[in-house]
């Protein structure tokens, strides 16, 4: 049993203690043991430590404090470039520039990222995933100089924890598990315990909204932003040479 | 240190020993602790045990022996339906039917799948990921009766191991790690140890191809198949109500 899975929470504040290159390399080597499509290993990881690169990346991650504060940042990329280059170097003709290739390589990258995350947290490190990677992929591509067929999928900020926040709530697992076929659940009942949490009620009040759901739809993840960043994401994927 | 990460390999043959519902539920509850976008938990898991459903799904997974042989199969789905239904039930107007929503929910689902995989392997279970989920999503949607805004992202076959295959090779991790910016690597040197493996040389010979890369481009993952299944995947995503 991996106890760190049960006790985990996202960590956004890190101590000054260094995260050694040896530790990162060792955790990544373990992560690369994760399942991947056809053992093609269609992923790459870009490690950011320099002040200069962090300054470039910070606004792309909306200057989130966890980003500025982190000693190490890892950007996990879908990468069909290396494999395609190897095919070409062997005189074979690769055809890995379609949406399926993008999605398959993204899957590889996410399985590696999460294996890394589980291993890092078990080693006592704290981390935070940055969904902003999908919002500003175009700028991240420039900052990390990602060439054709390489695409930033997710980012992890990493360091030794300097906080112990409360564990966030989760929905009743039974509301997310379906047997044999998908069946709609009673959403009112499933979300009632979340809505009743004092911190959620405070959150609704702060935002001056009629319900927690409204905070999501009207403030945190609006339709207009969703449309804007969706188009930007599609454009960036095409820019990197993947065809739809 | 999670030792099972270092020693893991995909398991395709399972014993007759039952995998209890309690164990699956407990491993999934741990997996649901994984990071997710905005704590929206935009995923669902469909558990398949019945003979009838397996018969329907088997051809969609190309009748892979690991599928037919597995006591339990889990299909991890992107799911913006439940969250959207909750928004609507609260009188809020969700706008989570764009490509970004699909990709964000797919990310959530993959992080959960891999956390489940790590926990299951640490508990002694064996498993195999099925990439065929992305090839035949349309048929899987029918078989599992997945409604709008629910999409099958990956599948794991699960059971108690009845084999101990050799651990597969991996590329030198240093070839996949980039510092500060992405730099092309010497692919010939990086892939040389893989190409020199006796099992790879046998594989090339069996397939009657000039190189290992040719086995990938001409036999295993051809451009024509890639195009065909890419179009099918895009069509299935749109069918489920996500807009590009």
Element (H, E) at A24: helix A21-31
- pLDDT tens for residues B151-177? 999 999 999 999 999 999 999 999 999
Instruction: Sort A120 into a burial class: Cβ within 10 Å, 0-12 / 13-18 / 19+.
Output: buried
pLDDT, residue A1, reads 84
pLDDT class of A211 with cuts at 50, 70, 90: very high
Q: Is A244's pLDDT higher than 90?
A: no
What confidence tens digit (pLDDT) does each residue in A102-156 have? 999 999 999 999 999 999 999 999 999 999 999 999 999 999 999 999 999 999 9
Summarize the confidence of residues B201-220 as an average pLDDT.
97
- Give the pLDDT confidence score for residue B242 in this predicted structure: 98
Contacts of B93 in chain A (CB under 8 A): 217, 223
Q: Answer yes or no: is pLDDT of A38 > 90.
A: yes
Whether the predicted interface score ipTM is above 0.85: yes
Tell if the CB–CB gap between B119 and A5 is shorter than 8 Å.
yes
Going by C-alpha positions, the residue among A189, A191, A155, A186 that lies closest to residue A170 is: A191
Q: Take residue A39 and report the two structure tokens written for it.
A: 């053992």
What's the average model confidence in pLDDT over B199-211?
A: 97
Q: What is the mean pLDDT of residues B20-43?
A: 98
- Please compute the mean of the pLDDT values over residues B88-116 and round it to a whole number: 98
Q: How far is CA B231 from CA A24, B99, B226, in A?
A: 38, 15, 9
Locus of tokens 């190897």: A86
Provide, as residue numbers in chain B, all residues whose Cβ is less than 8 Å from the Cβ of A166: none
pLDDT computed for residue B133 by the predictor: 98
For B41, which of A103, A123, A176 is closest by C-beta distance? A176
A64-92 tens-digit pLDDT: 999 999 999 999 999 999 999 999 999 99
3-state secondary structure of A129: strand
CB-CB contact of B118 with A1 (8 Å) = no
Residue A72 is predicted with a pLDDT of 98
Mean pLDDT calculated for residue range B183-196: 98
Out of B29, B81, B131, the one facing A104 most closely (by C-beta) is B131
- Indicate the pLDDT class of residue B1, thresholds 50, 70 and 90: confident
CB contacts < 8 Å between A and B, how many? 338
Mean pLDDT of B105-134: 98
For residue A30, is pLDDT > 90?
Answer: yes
A5 close to B33: Cβ distance less than 8 angstroms: yes
- Sheet containing B150-159, strands listed edge to edge, beginning at the edge strand earlier in sequence: A177-179, B43-48, B72-79, B150-159, B126-130
Minimum distance, in Å, between the CA of residue B14 and any CA atom of chain A? 18
Start-to-end CA distance of chain B, whole Å, equals 42
pLDDT at B244: 86
Q: Judge contact between B145 and A182, C-beta under 8 A.
A: yes
Partner residue facing B98 (CB), from A53, A122, A227: A227
Give the separation between CA B55 and CA B59, rounded to whole angstroms. Answer: 8
Q: Cα–Cα distance between A65 and A69 in angstroms, integer?
A: 6
CA distances from A169 to B88, B111, B112 (A): 21, 17, 16
A-chain residue closest to B2, CA distance: A119
Packing angle, helices B99-122 and A99-122, rounded to 10? 50
pLDDT tens for each residue of A184-200: 999 999 999 999 999 99
How confident is residue B191, by pLDDT bands cut at 50, 70 and 90? very high
The 3-state secondary structure of chain B, one letter per residue: CCHHHHHCCCCCCECCCCCCHHHHHHHHHHHCCCCCHHHCCCEEEEEECCHHHHHHHHHHHCCCHHHHHCCEEEEEEEECHHHHHHHHHCCCCCCCCEHHHHHHHHHHHHHHHHHHHHHHHHCCCEEEEEHHHHCCHHHHHHHHCCCCCEEEEEEEEEECECCCCCCCCCCCHHHCEEECCCCCCCHHHHHHHHHHCHHHHHHHHHCCCCCHHHHHHHHHCCHHHHHHHHHHHHHHHHHCCCEC
């Amino acid at each position: 049993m991996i106890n760190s899975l049960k006790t985990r929470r996202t960590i956004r504040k890190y101590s000054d203690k260094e995260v050694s290159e040896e530790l990162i390399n060792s955790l990544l080597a373990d992560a690369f043991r994760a399942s991947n499509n056809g053992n093609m290993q269609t992923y790459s990881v870009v490690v950011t430590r320099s002040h200069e690169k962090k300054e470039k990346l910070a606004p792309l991650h909306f200057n989130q404090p966890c980003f500025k504060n982190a000693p190490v940042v890892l950007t996990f990329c879908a990468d069909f470039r290396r494999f395609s280059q190897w095919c070409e170097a062997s005189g074979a003709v690769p055809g890995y520039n379609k949406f399926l290739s993008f999605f398959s390589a993204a899957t590889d990258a996410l399985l590696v990222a999460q294996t890394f995350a589980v291993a890092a947290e078990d080693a006592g490190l704290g981390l935070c995933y940055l969904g902003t990677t999908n919002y500003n992929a175009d700028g991240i591509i420039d900052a990390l100089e990602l060439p054709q067929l390489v695409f930033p999928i997710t980012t992890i900020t990493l360091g030794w924890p300097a906080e112990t926040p409360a564990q966030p709530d989760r929905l009743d697992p039974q509301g997310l598990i379906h047997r044999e076929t998908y069946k709609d659940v009673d959403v009112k009942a499933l979300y009632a315990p979340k809505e009743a949490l004092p911190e959620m009620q405070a959150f609704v009040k702060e935002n001056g909204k009629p319900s927690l759901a409204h905070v999501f739809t009207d403030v945190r993840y609006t339709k207009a932003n969703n449309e804007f960043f969706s188009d930007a994401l599609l454009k960036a994927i095409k820019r990197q040479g993947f065809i739809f």
